[in-house]
C-alpha cells in the first residue's frame, strides 16, 4: 500500500489532536466547531493508518494488488469516464437550479417577514450562481484548449 495513506493518516490524527486539545482547553463560541473538526480529522486519520497496516501485511498484499488492478481498470474505462462526465454535468445543472429556486424562496420568505436580513442570503446565492456559471465556462475553455 502507498506510504501516502500512512502519512495522510498521521497528519490527520495530529490535526485532530490539535483540534481536540483546543476544544478541551479553551472556552469559546467555536467549541462545537473544534469538536467537529477533531472528530472529522481523527476518524479518517485513524482509518487510513489502520488500512495502511492491514493492506501492507504480507498475507493481504496479493489481494490488495488485485483490488488495485480492478480499480485502475474501472477508473480508466471509457464508458465509466463518459458516465462520470455526464453525471457531473447533470449535478452541475441541478445545483444551478437549486440555487435559483433558493433565491426565489428566500426572497419570498423575506418579503413576507418570515425571515429577516434575507437580502444577504439572496446576494450570497446570486454570487454563488454567477461564480458557478463563470467557473464552469472557464474550466470548459481550459479543457477545450487542452484537447
The predicted pLDDT at position 14 comes to 97
Asked if 60 and 54 count as a contact pair (C-beta separation under 8 A), the reply is yes
139 falls in which pLDDT band (50, 70, 90)? confident
Residue 138, number of CB atoms within 10 A of its CB: 10
Q: Which domain holds residue 140?
A: 78-146
Same domain, 108 and 121: yes
Q: What global pTM score does this model have?
A: 0.65
HSE-CB of 1 using CA atoms within 13 angstroms = 22
The predicted pLDDT at position 69 comes to 92
* Distance in angstroms (rounded) separating the CA atoms of residues 80 and 88: 12
Last residue of a domain, one of 76, 91, 119: 76
Same domain, 44 and 82: no
Same domain, 61 and 85: no
The predicted pLDDT at position 84 comes to 86
Same domain, 40 and 57: yes
Same domain, 136 and 95: yes
Last residue of a domain, one of 76, 95, 110: 76
Same domain, 96 and 49: no
Is the per-residue pLDDT at 44 higher than 90?
yes
Same domain, 54 and 15: yes
- Report pLDDT digits (tens) over 85-126: 898 899 999 999 999 999 999 899 888 989 888 888 889 999
141 falls in which pLDDT band (50, 70, 90)? confident
Look at the chain and report how many structural domains it folds into.
2
Asked if 19 and 7 count as a contact pair (C-beta separation under 8 A), the reply is no
Same domain, 69 and 99: no
Same domain, 63 and 110: no
* Distance in angstroms (rounded) separating the CA atoms of residues 131 and 120: 16
Same domain, 35 and 25: yes
Same domain, 62 and 99: no
Amino acid at each position: 500500500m502507498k506510504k501516502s495513506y500512512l502519512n495522510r493518516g498521521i497528519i490527520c490524527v495530529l490535526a485532530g489532536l490539535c483540534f481536540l486539545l483546543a476544544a478541551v482547553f479553551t472556552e469559546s463560541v467555536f467549541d462545537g466547531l473544534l469538536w467537529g473538526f477533531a472528530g472529522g480529522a481523527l476518524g479518517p486519520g485513524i482509518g487510513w493508518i489502520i488500512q495502511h497496516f492491514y493492506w501492507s501485511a504480507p498475507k493481504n498484499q496479493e489481494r490488495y494488488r488485485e483490488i488495485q488492478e480492478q480499480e485502475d481498470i474501472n477508473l480508466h474505462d471509457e464508458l465509466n469516464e463518459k458516465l462520470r462526465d455526464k453525471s457531473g454535468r447533470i449535478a452541475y445543472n441541478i445545483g444551478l437550479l437549486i440555487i435559483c429556486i433558493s433565491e426565489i424562496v428566500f426572497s419570498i420568505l423575506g418579503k413576507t417577514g418570515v425571515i429577516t436580513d434575507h437580502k444577504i442570503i439572496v446576494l450570497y446565492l446570486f454570487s454563488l450562481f454567477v461564480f458557478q456559471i463563470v467557473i464552469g465556462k472557464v474550466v470548459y475553455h481550459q479543457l477545450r484548449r487542452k484537447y
